[in-house]
Structure 1
Amino acid sequence: MRIRSGQSVTGAVSAPASRTEREKTSGARSSRAGASVSDTASIMGVPQNELTPNVQRALLSLMGEVDQLRKDTDALRSKVRELETLADRDVFLPVLNRRAFLREVSRALALAERHDAPSALVYMDLNGFKQINDTHGHAAGDAALRAVADILVAHVRETDAVGRLGGDEFGLVLTLTPAGQAEHKAGELAETIANTPILYEGSELRVGAAWGVHPIERGVSVETAMNQADAAMYARKAASARA
């Protein structure tokens, strides 16, 4: 039996049963189907006594299959979201990996191109990280990376993006943020990192951070933004070493 969208179940039955026939089968239908059929018929806007037992059984079977299909689809979507999150996450830290971070830079560039709404890219490199590894071991260095990642995530907005670009280098996309404000924010983050001790096996570890900023605006490519922010970061690091 094919039921087109918008067609009532009553219209799909070729010939309605007589009143006497309906009365004879009413009790049997109630005992077989119970309240669930009545609820189903009510939900579909069709009185129970307008449905034959075969139609009732077919509808219940169909609704059960649809419900199971919905559950299977929801479970599959949840699994896909979980896999996408794992694919975008750094293998060690609670931030984006480099591939996912570059995608966020591309999105910010697309926003700037379409709506002339510039954002800012921050490239950040840790100072003192190698000394921690050399003195306390790589486990201590891992603890330092986790502490820095936690600070960055905790001190930016949900609309911003934080990623690990490799080793002890991090990147941030500060959405809808002018370059001047991004410079100020990067300075605040670096100060927080420098002033936050990292406790590791009874020792207090500290790292600093150098940063570079480049605007994400019309006419700028992902490669240019990354290279220029990286260059600005190294220039700041070199100036700090000379001071």
Structure 2
Amino acid sequence: MRIRPFDALNKLRSTGDASKASSGSAASAASAAQAPRDAAQIMGVPENELTPNVQRALLTLMGEVDQLRKDTERLRNRVRELESLADHDVLLPVLNRRAFVREVSRAQALAERHGAPSALVYFDLNGFKQINDDFGHAAGDAALHHVATTLTANLRETDSVGRLGGDEFGVVLTLTTVSQAEAKAGELAEMIRQTAFSHDGNELYINSAWGVHPIEAGVPVDSAMAQADAAMYARKQQIKASATG
């Protein structure tokens, strides 16, 4: 079997790393000196051809391979960072609308393949415009952060939170029935209402309206989101009617 040079060098590098971890600086130096000979043996280079120039070339190649590996890992990490930025809201620590719709689609696929129930919750803030008008847009941003952190702190890792635009938020509750989702949405809304957030020395409060719709097989994602939005709007109208009644 023919061994490729890069495979041989990677094998040598890993054995060399283990040797360095278990020895002192003297052992490391000895290992570095032996490295070209070990590489030559693995690659099938005859001992009599292992001249100083060949040894230097092997050391250079080993260094280049190691640097390429480090550069590749840095690029992979950067790609992961960019992917995360592309999925998250520009202001809040939640998903943006595009990424949230993708999570709804995943929950729908789960329902289609396994019949697993999931639910979609829409939240809309009440009094958000008033906070902006009375205390400025920075206070409005603080209100949005308050809602985002309240939602994310009180959901499971399998659930998803997204900002759908303005002061509207969406939540995907996986493996959750409609009745369970309604109970959870009520709890979350109560946490938002009862917990103050601070801005410029002021303790402020904000309320929310919510609506729930099941994520079912065969129901288009846009339709499910529209139905959840409609349920939220109906509840919002009920709240207004109760306040003026």
Flag whether TM exceeds 0.5 (same fold). Answer: yes
| Superposition deviation, residue 61 in structure 1 | 2.5
Confirm or deny that 1:36 pairs with 2:32: yes
Aligned to 1:90: 89
* Cα 1:44/1:211, change in 2 over 3 Å: farther
| Superposition deviation, residue 124 in structure 1 | 0.5
* Cα 1:242/1:233, change in 2 over 3 Å: same
Aligned to 1:221: 220
Q: What CA deviation, in whole Å up to 9, does each residue of 1:62-103 have, x standing for no partner?
A: 221211111111111111111111111111111111111111
Contact conserved, 1:128 with 1:206, CA < 8 A, in 2?
no
Instruction: Name the SS for the 2:124 alignment partner.
Output: strand
Q: Which has the higher helix share?
A: 2
* Cα 1:34/1:49, change in 2 over 3 Å: farther
Structure 1, gaps ≥5 residues long: 10-32
Contact conserved, 1:38 with 1:48, CA < 8 A, in 2?
no
* Cα 1:41/1:237, change in 2 over 3 Å: farther
* Cα 1:109/1:40, change in 2 over 3 Å: farther
Structure 2, gaps ≥5 residues long: 9-28
Confirm or deny that 1:52 pairs with 2:50: yes
> CA RMSD for the aligned pairs?
2.6
User: What is the total number of aligned residue pairs between the two structures?
Assistant: 217
Structure possessing the higher radius of gyration over alpha carbons: 1
| Runs ≥4 residues deviating over 6 A | none
Contact conserved, 1:123 with 1:171, CA < 8 A, in 2?
yes
Aligned to 1:78: 77
Aligned to 1:132: 131
State how far apart, in whole Å, the 2-side matches of 1:45 and 1:196 are: 69
> Which TM-score applies when normalising by structure 1?
0.81
| Superposition deviation, residue 43 in structure 1 | 8.2
Contact conserved, 2:40 with 2:46, CA < 8 A, in 1?
no
Percent of residue pairs bearing the same amino acid type: 65
Q: How does 1:142-221 map to 2 (within 5 A)?
A: 142-221=141-220
Instruction: Name the SS for the 2:120 alignment partner.
Output: strand
Aligned to 1:4: 3
Please say which of residues 107-116 and 188-197 is displaced more in the overlay: 107-116
State how far apart, in whole Å, the 2-side matches of 1:44 and 1:143 are: 63
> Which TM-score applies when normalising by structure 2?
0.80
State how far apart, in whole Å, the 2-side matches of 1:242 and 1:44 are: 84
Letter in 1 for 2:90: V
Contact conserved, 1:151 with 1:193, CA < 8 A, in 2?
yes
| Superposition deviation, residue 160 in structure 1 | 1.1
